[in-house]
Structure 1
């Protein structure tokens, strides 16, 4: 029996590696000599660096950067096992979890630290980047990141603007003369699963600003700043950063990557599966086990389980999905490649009980063992 375990994390409970280990233990209860290969995964959001570095036996680097509230923090990025590809989660340098809820303020929050992470990797000689855009606390259009990379954003007095979304309205000129030539050699593949424009009613400020602490008045100010940023970028550099799908992702970081760094926005899970060469990983296995904390209507729209299952179906390999909770909408997942899916809950329990790491680990192991007992019975 050869099994590929390709799990996302159970957010707030188990990492993808911990979940994979519990599943492997359940399989070994039934098939002690089973060949279980664990491939921790993520969809471009939280946990992407950890999962990809673990899956490819890569390396982590931790460096001091300016955090979202312009304070010094330690942020970590990874280099994959190919010794060539850097993976960065922007949330490591400007994420919501770095700020207490009462301190959230996208008027002052900055992406400067993201640029510092990129700079550090470039100085080490790396040129290929995977960027995960999820979870930012910012709405500065990526200007902070670009400032760290050498772009200058000047006000009407020729002075560099301050950090944070509140300063975007002050931009009158953009200067790229001090940008390192090495940056033009870099290639950015950006994991992004939203299509919002930079500004407007469906843009970064109106759609994502409130969850980052923006009041209605702040939202209006931030949106006007993004409009001004887009106008100056068009006038000075001839760049359209408003209309590309995903420009409004992560408070406008999508626009910065598209317009200033020639980044290519891709489906998060497709980018991740491509990076770990998933098709090659599936070749020759008998069963694929995947899953995540919740299977619902969103799962089929670019989540880990659906991406893994679609490739498994393409290669004629059955795929089992395990999850903490499953909604009625998950029934559609059978059509896209998940052979069967199961909740790991073994009895009625509260959410807090279910996400307790020890409980979740035990439930994953028990459910997996029971499933493979059934598989073994049919094989005999």
Structure 2
């Protein structure tokens, strides 16, 4: 039975909520009680976070090759593995096992994102309802907010992981019932054309790498910062919910700005807004500062993710798959470096101020690079159009 475009988008929302909003980001609100109960150092906490991002990178690269079986089968496998890894986090106190589980969860998250997007967005485009893609991507923010609200009602870190796993299972089952099987794949002959890397793309890829570092330190340690500051500790149950609330509509809002002023200028604006949120997280330890940090972080990171990938498609010639894969690798590398660096610095200095200041500086540089990329891109695009124009 054919699904309506709205139903398909809602199915994608549920898959994104389970695999990304819960599977990837619930670690942040669970981290503080885990650190206290298990006496983890900040370096160990950052290492666990980075293991997840290593897995995400591996999953993204693996999903980019032709895998046997249907895309829906791989989506369901990712949703199942995600729930299993969430539940298994509650049954161990071993750092090594935590690293393995979060790495596998990262692979699962990448599969959920890539295969749900492939299944849902293709069909939305075919029906002329591409605008509903924003509903699909809003699942990340909804998953963050729902899981944060859930774990805020619990006191034990083990029960937090188990409850999150149960929530992910519910969302995954509903997504499996809604998202239909994909059509039979068509055989593709020949090798994909070699990816051509323009100077505009290289600058954008560096900006995307800096975005990966810039957002992930705050995304990993925001709740830990709130918990460790007596004046704002009462906001711990709400801060990560606010991140999700900010994330839910962000793709719609930044996409609208991108259509008005251009994709890369919008990327620059979002980078500066996010830099302000990162600074607020460590320099404004009051109620309003926490609210701004959470909303600015949540309100930009998914928008920046989408804008960067759209920009990559436009920043060169030929098949864009290679450029998108390189962007994913650059972003993932930034996410891997950020938490480990911040954790090591925290253990040495007792503060996340310096890592956050460097992260904010990186986001400002990312804004400048995206503007520079925008200035190069029009000439590249114009030259390309001229090259393709037949002589009359």
TM normalised by structure 2 equals 0.23
Greater gyration radius:
1
Q: Which has the higher contact order (CA 8 A, sep 6+)?
A: 2
Greater per-residue helix proportion: 2
